[in-house]
């Protein structure tokens, strides 16, 4: 059942309504009482579902259905902005430990012709769990023709820093992020394991021959970048052919990075953060040969899934990144100019731990939250 609005926003909406009501000599222009005023737009927060637990990814099928992943190993099916009551069958078993489990989901750019759905998940294997990328097709509400395209190594028993996001670029290369597993930050600086990296593969799992380390002895050939801590956001800008990585720092030092072939993003050799117990990780924030973020947060907002706004429905947000914030419980709007950070705005403060933000094929912005368990849709007003 569709729930029209979140009670979480009643007070904010009343404030927004009282401040935005416009009067003329003849009539009052009505603003939806659940609208929220931002710097650029007035937005109605439409709450579509309130019973999510640990949602992670969202994607839309050409027939209009929306799929939402739950980390424990479920994929919920929505249609016309309402939960259908159905969950996909045949979902693979997951290593559901802490941050690990069923993660991102995306459809192939040419889905209408090939029917492939891609899933990032923590696969249970000997030794614990491993971030894996699987593709499958749908037969009704069942995943069929499943095949693992790549399984990262080595496996770990725990569940920290598994990533993971999936994107496709204009040439249908698949990129995915994989965290460094937390307890072993040095993983990010070696090419001999898969962790703390962003990877690039063909859509069928083959390794591209022009990957940067494909001919280096003992290197994992799928590596595209390294020195990444725990990138839980990955965004492709088709207009500029750029990739943005959104990365959890430790205590402070969350980053937005321009992801470029073969570059080292520095973790843990450089960082703008410190350990959670306030001890120093490194004295260095800059070092030759290590990439600088285009923006960092200190204190941490705990950034996660993100989207680049391309929709005409939000003209003043076009070209902005909308980044989910877990710890600070808001959506962070980041204005860019080319590859430069300009400014930011916090939207919908205290809505919950925002795990992901996505744009639907018809141009609306959706977000999912933990703790408050919401699926919301942001509807521009006027």
Q: Which of the following is catalytic: 8, 41, 161, 195? A: 161
In the chain, what percentage of residues exceed pLDDT 90? 90
Gap between the Cα atoms of 67 and 61, Å rounded: 8
* Cβ-based neighbours of 106, under 8 Å, separated by 6 or more: 57, 59, 117, 118, 166, 167, 168
pLDDT at 113: 97
Q: Closest by alpha carbon to 230, among 98, 106, 357?
A: 98
Torsion angle of the four alpha carbons 321, 378, 98, 181, in this order, in degrees rounded to the nearest 10 = -10
Gap between the Cα atoms of 161 and 165, Å rounded: 12
Phi, psi of 207 (to 5 degrees): -90, 125
- For residue 234, the cross-strand partners are 245
- Strands (E) across 338-374 are located at 340-347, 353-359, 365-370
**86 among known catalytic residues:** no
The pLDDT tens digits of the residues spanning 323-338 come to 999 999 999 999 999 9
The pLDDT tens digits of the residues spanning 254-299 come to 999 999 999 999 999 999 999 999 999 999 999 999 999 999 999 9
pLDDT-derived band at 32, boundaries 50, 70, 90: low
Within 10 angstroms of residue 344's Cβ, the number of other Cβ atoms is 17
pLDDT at 3: 45
Does position 4 have pLDDT exceeding 50, yes or no?
Answer: no
Q: Any idea which residue has 């891609």 for tokens?
A: 118
The pLDDT tens digits of the residues spanning 187-242 come to 999 999 999 999 999 999 999 999 999 999 999 999 999 999 999 999 999 999 99
pLDDT at 361: 97
Q: Would you say domain 7-380 falls under CATH 2.120.10.30?
A: yes
Does position 27 have pLDDT exceeding 70, yes or no?
Answer: no
Query: CB pairs under 8 A, 24+ apart, for 89-94?
Result: 89/141, 89/142, 89/143, 90/136, 90/142, 90/143, 90/144, 90/146, 91/143, 92/119, 92/121, 92/123, 92/134, 92/143, 92/146, 93/123, 93/124, 94/121, 94/122, 94/123, 94/124
The pLDDT tens digits of the residues spanning 342-359 come to 999 999 999 999 999 999
pLDDT at 34: 72
Task: Provide mean pLDDT across the span 129-137.
Answer: 97
In the chain, what percentage of residues exceed pLDDT 70? 91
Q: Closest by alpha carbon to 307, among 296, 326, 321, 325?
A: 321
pLDDT-derived band at 33, boundaries 50, 70, 90: low
Structural domain spans, the chain: 7-380
pTM of the model: 0.91
The pLDDT tens digits of the residues spanning 61-120 come to 999 999 999 999 999 999 999 999 999 999 999 999 999 999 999 999 999 999 999 999
Q: What is the mean pLDDT of the chain?
A: 92
């Amino acid at each position: 059942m569709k729930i029209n609005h979140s009670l979480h926003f009643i007070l904010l909406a009343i404030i927004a309504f009282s401040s935005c009501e416009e009067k003329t000599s003849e009539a009052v222009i009505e603003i939806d009482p659940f609208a929220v005023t931002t710097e650029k737009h007035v937005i109605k927060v439409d709450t579509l579902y309130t019973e999510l637990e640990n949602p992670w990814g969202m994607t839309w099928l050409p027939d209009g259905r929306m799929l939402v992943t739950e980390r424990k190993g479920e994929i919920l099916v929505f249609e016309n902005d309402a939960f259908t009551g159905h969950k996909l069958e045949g979902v693979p078993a997951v290593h559901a430990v802490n941050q690990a489990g069923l993660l991102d989901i995306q459809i192939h750019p040419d889905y209408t012709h090939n029917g492939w759905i891609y899933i990032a998940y923590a696969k249970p294997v000997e030794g614990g769990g491993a971030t894996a990328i699987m593709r499958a097709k749908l037969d009704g509400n069942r995943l069929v023709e499943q095949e693992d395209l790549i399984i990262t190594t080595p496996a770990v028993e725990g569940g920290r820093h598994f990533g993971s996001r999936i994107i496709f670029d204009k040439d249908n290369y698949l990129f995915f992020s994989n965290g460094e597993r937390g307890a072993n930050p040095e993983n990010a600086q070696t090419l001999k394991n898969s962790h703390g990296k962003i990877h690039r593969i063909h859509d069928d799992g083959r390794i591209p021959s022009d990957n940067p380390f494909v001919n280096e002895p003992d290197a994992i050939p799928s590596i595209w970048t390294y020195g990444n801590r725990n990138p839980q956001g990955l965004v492709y800008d088709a207009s500029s052919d750029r990739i943005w990585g959104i990365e959890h720092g430790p205590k402070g030092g969350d980053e937005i990075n321009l992801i470029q072939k073969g570059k080292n993003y520095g973790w843990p050799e450089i960082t703008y953060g410190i350990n959670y117990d306030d001890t120093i990780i490194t004295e260095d924030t800059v070092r030759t040969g290590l990439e600088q973020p285009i923006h960092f947060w200190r204190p941490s907002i705990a950034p996660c899934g993100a989207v680049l706004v391309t929709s005409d429905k939000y003209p003043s947000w076009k070209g902005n990144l909308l980044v989910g914030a877990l710890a600070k419980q808001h959506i962070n709007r980041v204005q860019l100019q080319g590859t430069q950070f300009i400014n930011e705005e916090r939207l919908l403060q205290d809505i919950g731990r925002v795990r992901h933000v996505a744009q639907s094929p018809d141009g609306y912005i959706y977000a999912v939250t933990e703790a408050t368990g919401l699926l919301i849709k942001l509807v521009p007003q006027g």
